[in-house]
Structure 1
């Protein structure tokens, strides 16, 4: 993500204005991408081994895929979503986390496919049926 501090501060203030009706912990300024990335990986150390491995790989891949984004709205959305995720795993709420129908309806078709693939992968990990794709 090619965002300087000024862009992040401006985007953060826009995000805060949009979140005024939400809880105070959710309206904190956005963390810079690298700090957010590192904090998420640090929090993953508190997860069980399988969840940590899956989460680390997913976070690394997502941040790598979004590294070259220049659109401020996409940057804000991306960082806000990952910051919400950070708060979720920091408090341990990830165990009871569910996806509301409202959130599901807002997802693009590509995001729905990605979510489905993630669900299949986590089920395979849970069931111990992980296939090593590197050997195929």
Structure 2
């Protein structure tokens, strides 16, 4: 494998991991671990798959950077993108399964975060 390609992959990986540090705390481990696993999984893929892999992760990185904004996620628009029906239909079965697993993991992270938030008491004595 070309040394320039290895450096490009390493730079993209480090950039993605840095961006993941800007995610809400409950989503950081999901993003970091998923990216690590994907980059490891594609370490020995063929050149055409490597090109698709690099293009998609570059698009993801740009999209995430745009969503996080300069001041972080609290000041930017909501995170994530909606997949249209055509994009879903274009996915292979294993990709659909992987997407489903990610959705479950993200949903569980959200639920854990909402369970850990302190209960606030309003002025009239009721709880929120």
TM-score normalized with structure 1 length: 0.68
Greater than 6 Å deviation, 4+ residue runs? none
Residues 8-19 of structure 1: pairs in structure 2 closer than 5 A: none
2: CA distance, partners of 1:96 / 1:54: 14
Higher RCO (CA 8 Å, separation ≥ 6 residues)? 1
**SS of the counterpart of 1:49?**
coil
1:88–1:94 CA contact under 8 A, matched in 2: no
Aligned equivalent of 2:50: 75
Residues 1-136 of structure 1: pairs in structure 2 closer than 5 A: 2-5=1-4, 32-69=8-45, 71-92=46-67, 95-128=79-112
Tell which structure's C-alpha radius of gyration is larger.
2
1: CA distance, partners of 2:51 / 2:78: 22
2: CA distance, partners of 1:83 / 1:94: 20
Tell me: CA distance 1:72–1:99, structure 2 relative to 1, closer, same or farther (3 Å).
same
1: CA distance, partners of 2:84 / 2:3: 33
- Structure 1 position 96, deviation (Å): 4.6
**SS of the counterpart of 1:33?**
helix
Q: How many residues align?
A: 103
Unaligned runs of 5+ in 1: 9-30, 130-136
2: CA distance, partners of 1:94 / 1:77: 27
Unaligned runs of 5+ in 2: 68-76, 114-128
**SS of the counterpart of 2:43?**
coil
More helix per residue: 1 or 2? 1
